[in-house]
């Protein structure tokens, strides 16, 4: 998986989001051991201090926990992950609704459009099969 | 660290000098062979029999002469170039960021420059010696030398060894001071913000003129102080005394110059360093 | 904690002032971007720290010491010029560095040469400008120094090598060392920086952490730089 650090927001926040996304989407599975800060920093092409800061933030969020000698692990508490997933979904939907509002598209219209798109996708799948 | 600097300096310069010495040696041997086969009586009656041999000899002598001159010139050029290029151009960025003292940088260049000057002289002497082999007998040579010693002693009352030693000292010290004079001129050039090479040449010329004026004044004072000997020219012993004084005085003056040049160079490099 | 410190540091060349009254303290363990337009005094500051220039007034100390033999042993300096002798082979230059710097790691250097496909037997004069720059950077990063001064390290190299070099910088320095990178190509190195120092016309304009800038200005450092130094 690639890292994307491109927006103007603080780099560590972008790292937090991307690691969070990896945890939620199952790229990192609960209980997985994370690589060392240095390796992760090198992989992402960022400064180790920044990666450290991002991991500290994830620890605070309880998505990651540190064991003094053996390193950092993804939380095994599925509730926390579920919670994060929900929070992220709420955020994304909020942003989506905000955009639709700007376009002048109301709630019913959105639902109708969504159904239509989903049907289209199903039909596409059918054809492919 | 001085030892390491000398090691790397030697490595950097020997790649230029060793091939040159090799070329000189080859040309010497070639010329010697051409002489031995083509004109065995060259040193005695100076007549080459065959016009082809004459041409070959002419060419090999010319090449040989060029090699000797090139070697001397290269030694001087390398002394200048190693100091200027290695310390005051882009390469200086590396040399001055090494954890070595400024005096070690100067001294390493000086020692290696001095060694090459000595080797260069030695090589030319050896080459002359090879070339003239056969034109004299070893016996004559040793006899001549011992005769010179006894005659010198009977005329002047001192050993020729002392005289040779003092002259050698003067040659060594004045070689050092002339190398250091080049260094200080280059360093002075660095004080300018532009046209540093021109400024270095200017500095060298100014120092030369100043030294010549001071030298003439000192010589005049010296001559006036020993006027009786200069005019009468009578007593050999007294004349020798004066030559002694002259040689050792020159050596002392050169030692003073060496110290002055060295300190000035080091001061500029340490406190006024401004690499472009 | 401080590795590099300056007090009212001023440097002028004749009448021209290159740096004026610079005050800063650089802690260990950080990667610092020294940013500014061409001719702003970046190189002058780095050369003063490396001991290649003497301050006109004020002072500069490295680990509490004025520039000299001791500080030079702690600093690994990459100049913006090509400072290696052209006639040398890479292996000869490695031997040179190994001789003068006890903290030089030959194995590290050889591995990096291999990674970047540089033949150690090649002479520098046969190499392109970019390859020479790589060699120089490999030598500098193969030392276990306390302060790395990198003057325009990525100017002439291709993007692939640039990424490799940035990774080398991130992974090679130890926690107690600091890296100062001067550049005007900010976007390329922004992600690896902890802090930045903006200088312009010899004066310190801004010194801050990268995330602080992004947080308060809502802009990348590159964006802010373009705004501050708009022509």
Per-residue pLDDT band at B125 (split at 50, 70, 90): very high
Residue C27, phi then psi, degrees to nearest 5: -80, 160
For the segment C30-52, what is each residue's pLDDT rounded down to a tens digit?
Answer: 999 999 888 889 999 999 999 99
Residue A79 and residue A88 in contact, taking contact as beta carbons nearer than 8 Å: no
Q: Which residues of C touch A43 (CB under 8 A)?
A: none
**Closest in C30, C166, C219 to A45, CB measured:** C166
Q: Which residues pair with C6 in a beta bridge?
A: C24, C60
Nearest-CA distance from C181 to chain A in Å? 13
Size of interface B-C (CB pairs under 8 A): 62
Give the Cα separation of B78 and B75 in Å (integer): 5
For the segment C131-151, what is each residue's pLDDT rounded down to a tens digit?
Answer: 888 899 999 999 999 999 999
Both structure tokens of C180:
């100062």
Give the Cα separation of B116 and B109 in Å (integer): 11
Q: Report pLDDT for B193.
A: 81
The mean pLDDT of B32-53, rounded to a whole number, is 69
Share of chain C above pLDDT 90, in %: 55
User: In sequence order, what are the residues at sequence separation of 6 or more whose Cβ sits closer than 8 angstroms to the Cβ of residue A25?
Assistant: none
* Residue C82 in contact with partner chain B when CB distance is under 8 A: yes
pLDDT at residue A127 tops 90: no
Share of chain B above pLDDT 70, in %: 92
List the single residue in C with minimal CA-CA distance to A14.
C211
Q: Which residues of C touch B94 (CB under 8 A)?
A: 79, 83-84
Give the Cα separation of B275 and B271 in Å (integer): 12
List the single residue in A with minimal CA-CA distance to C223.
A8
Rg of chain B taking only CA atoms, in angstroms: 23
Residue B261 and residue B177 in contact, taking contact as beta carbons nearer than 8 Å: yes
8 Å CB contact of A49 and C29:
yes
* Residue B97 in contact with partner chain C when CB distance is under 8 A: yes
The mean pLDDT of C74-100, rounded to a whole number, is 92
Nearest to C27 by CA among C151, C191, C184, C175: C175
8 Å CB contact of B92 and C72:
no
Q: What is the pTM of this model?
A: 0.84
Nearest to C174 by CA among C55, C29, C46: C29
8 Å CB contact of C69 and B97:
no
Q: Which residues of C touch B3 (CB under 8 A)?
A: none
Q: Which residues of B touch C13 (CB under 8 A)?
A: 193, 274
**Closest in A13, A45, A50 to C167, CB measured:** A45
Q: Report pLDDT for C65.
A: 94
- Residue, of A111 and C158, whose pLDDT is higher: A111
Compute how many other C-beta atoms are within 10 angstroms of the C-beta atom of residue C119.
Answer: 14
The mean pLDDT of B254-271, rounded to a whole number, is 93
The mean pLDDT of C157-171, rounded to a whole number, is 82
* Residue B18 in contact with partner chain C when CB distance is under 8 A: no
The number of CA neighbours under 13 Å toward the Cβ of B200 is 19
Give the Cα separation of B195 and C24 in Å (integer): 35
Host H or E run for residue B193:
none
Chains B and C touch (3+ CB pairs under 8 A): yes
Q: Report pLDDT for B44.
A: 60
pLDDT at residue C178 tops 90: yes
Give the Cα separation of A31 and A27 in Å (integer): 12
**How far from B4 is each of B114, B269, C119, CA to CA, in Å?**
17, 20, 26
Q: Which residues pair with C53 in a beta bridge?
A: B274
Host H or E run for residue A3:
none
8 Å CB contact of C192 and A46:
yes
Helix axes B160-189, B236-271, angle to 10 degrees: 30
Instruction: Please report the residues numbered 26 through 45 in chain C whose beta carbons come closer than 8 angstroms to any beta carbon of chain A.
Output: 29-31
For the segment B60-102, what is each residue's pLDDT rounded down to a tens digit?
Answer: 888 888 889 989 999 999 999 999 999 999 999 999 999 999 9
User: In sequence order, what are the residues at sequence separation of 6 or more whose Cβ sits closer than 8 angstroms to the Cβ of residue C160?
Assistant: none
* Residue C145 in contact with partner chain B when CB distance is under 8 A: no
* Residue A34 in contact with partner chain C when CB distance is under 8 A: no
Both structure tokens of C38:
């061409």
Which DSSP category does A67 fall into?
A: E
- Residue, of A114 and C8, whose pLDDT is higher: C8
**Closest in B11, B93, B193 to C52, CB measured:** B93
Nearest-CA distance from C97 to chain B in Å? 9
pLDDT at residue C12 tops 80: yes
Give the Cα separation of C197 and C200 in Å (integer): 10
* Residue C134 in contact with partner chain B when CB distance is under 8 A: no
Q: Which residues of B touch C92 (CB under 8 A)?
A: 11
Q: In chain B, which residue ranges form alpha helices assigned H by DSSP?
A: 2-38, 42-45, 51-88, 90-95, 102-132, 138-156, 160-189, 196-225, 227-232, 236-271
Q: Report pLDDT for A1.
A: 66
Host H or E run for residue A61:
none
* Residue C85 in contact with partner chain B when CB distance is under 8 A: yes
pLDDT at residue C170 tops 70: yes
Chain centre distance of CA C55: 19
Q: Which residues of A touch C209 (CB under 8 A)?
A: none
Nearest-CA distance from A64 to chain C in Å? 22
SS3 letters across C134-198:
HHHHHHHHCECCCEEEEECCCCCCCHHHHHHHHHHHHHHCCCCCEEEEEECCHHHHHHHCCEEEE
Q: Which residues of A touch C194 (CB under 8 A)?
A: 47, 49-50
Residue A32 and residue A74 in contact, taking contact as beta carbons nearer than 8 Å: yes
Place of tokens 């926990």: A65
Instruction: Give the least confident one: A96-100, B26-30, B35-39, B202-206.
Output: B35-39
Chains B and A touch (3+ CB pairs under 8 A): no
Q: Which residues pair with A72 in a beta bridge?
A: A66
Residue B89 and residue B58 in contact, taking contact as beta carbons nearer than 8 Å: no
The mean pLDDT of C18-28, rounded to a whole number, is 92
Give the Cα separation of C169 and B139 in Å (integer): 73
Nearest to C96 by CA among B106, B113, B273, B91: B91
Average pLDDT over chain A, rounded to an integer: 86
DSSP β-ladder status, A71-74 and A64-67: antiparallel
The three-state secondary structure class of B158 is coil
The mean pLDDT of C110-132, rounded to a whole number, is 91
Among C159, C168, C170, C179, the strongest candidate for a mutation testing the A interface, having the largest count of A CBs within 10 A, is C170
pLDDT at residue C179 tops 70: yes
Per-residue pLDDT band at B49 (split at 50, 70, 90): low
Average pLDDT over chain B, rounded to an integer: 87
Q: What angle do CA B34, B36, B40 make, to 5 degrees?
A: 120
Q: Report pLDDT for A129.
A: 60
| Domain range list for chain B | 1-135, 137-276
* Residue C50 in contact with partner chain A when CB distance is under 8 A: no
Q: Report pLDDT for B138.
A: 78
The mean pLDDT of C163-170, rounded to a whole number, is 84
Q: Which residues of C touch A46 (CB under 8 A)?
A: 170, 191-192
* Residue C84 in contact with partner chain A when CB distance is under 8 A: no
Q: Report pLDDT for C119.
A: 93
The three-state secondary structure class of A25 is coil
Nearest-CA distance from C193 to chain A in Å? 6
Which DSSP category does A34 fall into?
A: P
Q: Which residues of C touch A2 (CB under 8 A)?
A: none
pLDDT at residue B46 tops 60: no
Both structure tokens of B99:
């954890």
Q: Report pLDDT for C181.
A: 93
Share of chain C above pLDDT 70, in %: 99
Q: Which residues of B touch C51 (CB under 8 A)?
A: 96-97
Q: Report pLDDT for C147.
A: 95
* Residue C220 in contact with partner chain A when CB distance is under 8 A: yes
The mean pLDDT of A98-108, rounded to a whole number, is 88
For the segment A33-70, what is each residue's pLDDT rounded down to a tens digit?
Answer: 888 888 888 888 888 888 989 999 999 988 888 887 78
**How far from C131 is each of A85, B101, C117, CA to CA, in Å?**
48, 31, 10
Q: Which residues of C touch A5 (CB under 8 A)?
A: 191
Burial class (CB in 10 A: 0-12, 13-18, 19+), A40: buried
The three-state secondary structure class of A65 is strand
Q: Which residues of B touch C69 (CB under 8 A)?
A: 99-101
pLDDT at residue B136 tops 80: no
Q: Which residues of C touch B14 (CB under 8 A)?
A: none
- Residue, of A78 and B8, whose pLDDT is higher: B8
DSSP-derived secondary structure for B60-95: HHHHHHHHHHHHHHHHHHHHHHHHHHHHHSHHHHHH
Chains C and A touch (3+ CB pairs under 8 A): yes
* Residue A48 in contact with partner chain C when CB distance is under 8 A: yes
User: In sequence order, what are the residues at sequence separation of 6 or more whose Cβ sits closer than 8 angstroms to the Cβ of residue B224?
Assistant: none
Compute how many other C-beta atoms are within 10 angstroms of the C-beta atom of residue B259.
Answer: 12
- Which ipTM did the prediction report? 0.90
Nearest-CA distance from B83 to chain C in Å? 13
* Residue A50 in contact with partner chain C when CB distance is under 8 A: yes
User: In sequence order, what are the residues at sequence separation of 6 or more whose Cβ sits closer than 8 angstroms to the Cβ of residue B45?
Assistant: none
Q: Report pLDDT for A2.
A: 78
DSSP-derived secondary structure for chain C: -EEEEEEEEEEEETTEEEEEEEEEEEETT-EEEEE--TTSSHHHHHHHHHTSB--SEEEEEETTB-SSHHHHHHEEEE-SS--S-TT-BHHHHHHHHHHH-TTB-HHHHHHHHHHTT--TTSBGGGS-HHHHHHHHHHHHHTB--SEEEEESTTTTS-HHHHHHHHHHHHHHS-TT-EEEEEES-HHHHGGG-SEEEEEETTEEEEEEEHHHHHHHHSS-HHHHHHHHT--
Q: Report pLDDT for B233.
A: 59
């Amino acid at each position: 998986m690639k890292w994307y650090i491109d927006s103007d927001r603080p780099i560590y926040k972008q790292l937090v989001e991307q690691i969070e996304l990896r945890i939620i989407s199952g790229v990192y599975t609960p209980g997985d051991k994370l690589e060392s800060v240095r390796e992760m920093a090198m992989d992402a092409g960022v400064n180790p201090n920044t990666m450290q800061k991002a991991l500290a933030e994830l620890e605070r969020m309880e998505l990651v926990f540190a064991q003094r000698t053996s390193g950092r692990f993804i939380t095994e508490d599925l509730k926390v992950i579920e919670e994060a997933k929900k929070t992220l979904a709420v955020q994304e939907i909020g942003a989506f609704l905000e955009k639709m509002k700007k376009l002048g598209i109301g709630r019913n219209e959105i639902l109708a459009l969504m159904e239509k798109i989903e049907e289209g996708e199903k039909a596409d799948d059918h054809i492919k099969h | 660290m001085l030892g390491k600097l000398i090691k790397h300096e030697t490595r950097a310069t020997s790649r230029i000098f060793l091939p040159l010495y090799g070329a000189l040696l080859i040309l010497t041997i070639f010329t010697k062979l051409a002489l031995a086969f083509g004109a065995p009586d060259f040193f005695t009656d100076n007549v080459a029999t065959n016009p082809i041999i004459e041409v070959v000899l002419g060419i090999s002598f010319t090449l040989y002469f060029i090699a000797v001159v090139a070697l001397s010139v290269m030694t001087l050029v390398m002394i200048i170039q190693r100091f200027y290029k290695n310390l005051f151009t882009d390469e200086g960025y590396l040399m001055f960021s090494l954890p070595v003292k400024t005096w070690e940088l100067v001294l390493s260049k000086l020692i290696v420059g001095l060694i090459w000057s000595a080797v260069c002289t030695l090589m030319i002497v050896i080459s002359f010696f090879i070339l003239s082999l056969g034109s004299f007998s070893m016996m004559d040579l040793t006899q001549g030398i011992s005769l010179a010693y006894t005659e010198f002693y009977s005329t002047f009352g001192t050993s020729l060894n002392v005289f040779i030693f003092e002259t050698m000292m003067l040659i060594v010290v004045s070689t050092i001071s002339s190398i250091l004079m080049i260094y200080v001129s280059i360093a002075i050039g660095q004080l300018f913000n532009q046209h540093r090479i021109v400024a270095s040449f200017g500095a060298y010329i100014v120092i030369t003129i100043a030294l010549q004026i001071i030298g003439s004044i000192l010589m005049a004072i010296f001559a006036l102080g020993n006027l009786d000997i200069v005019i009468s020219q009578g007593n050999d012993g007294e004349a020798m005394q004066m030559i002694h004084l002259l040689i050792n005085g020159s050596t002392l003056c050169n030692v003073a110059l060496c110290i002055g040049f060295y300190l000035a160079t080091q001061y500029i490099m340490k406190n006024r360093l401004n690499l472009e | 904690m401080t590795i590099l410190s300056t007090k009212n540091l001023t440097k002028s060349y004749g009448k021209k002032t290159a740096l004026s009254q610079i005050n800063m303290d650089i802690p260990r363990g950080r990667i610092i971007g020294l940013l500014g337009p061409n001719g702003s005094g970046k190189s002058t500051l780095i050369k003063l720290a490396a001991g290649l220039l003497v301050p006109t007034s004020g002072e500069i100390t490295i680990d509490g010491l004025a520039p000299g033999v001791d500080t030079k042993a702690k600093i690994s300096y990459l100049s913006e010029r090509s400072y290696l002798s052209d006639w040398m082979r890479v292996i000869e230059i490695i031997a040179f560095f190994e001789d003068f710097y006890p903290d030089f790691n030959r194995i590290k250097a050889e591995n990096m040469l291999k990674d970047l496909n540089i033949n150690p037997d090649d002479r520098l004069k046969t190499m392109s400008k970019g390859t020479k720059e790589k060699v120089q950077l490999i030598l500098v990063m193969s030392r276990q120094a306390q302060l790395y001064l990198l003057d325009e390290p990525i100017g002439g190299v291709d993007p692939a090598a640039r990424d490799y070099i940035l990774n080398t910088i991130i992974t090679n320095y130890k926690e107690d060392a600091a890296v100062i990178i001067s550049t005007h190509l900010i976007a390329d190195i922004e992600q690896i920086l902890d802090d930045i120092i903006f200088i312009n016309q010899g004066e310190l304009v801004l010194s801050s952490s990268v995330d602080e800038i992004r947080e308060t200005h809502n802009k990348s450092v590159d964006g802010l730089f373009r705004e501050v130094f708009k022509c």
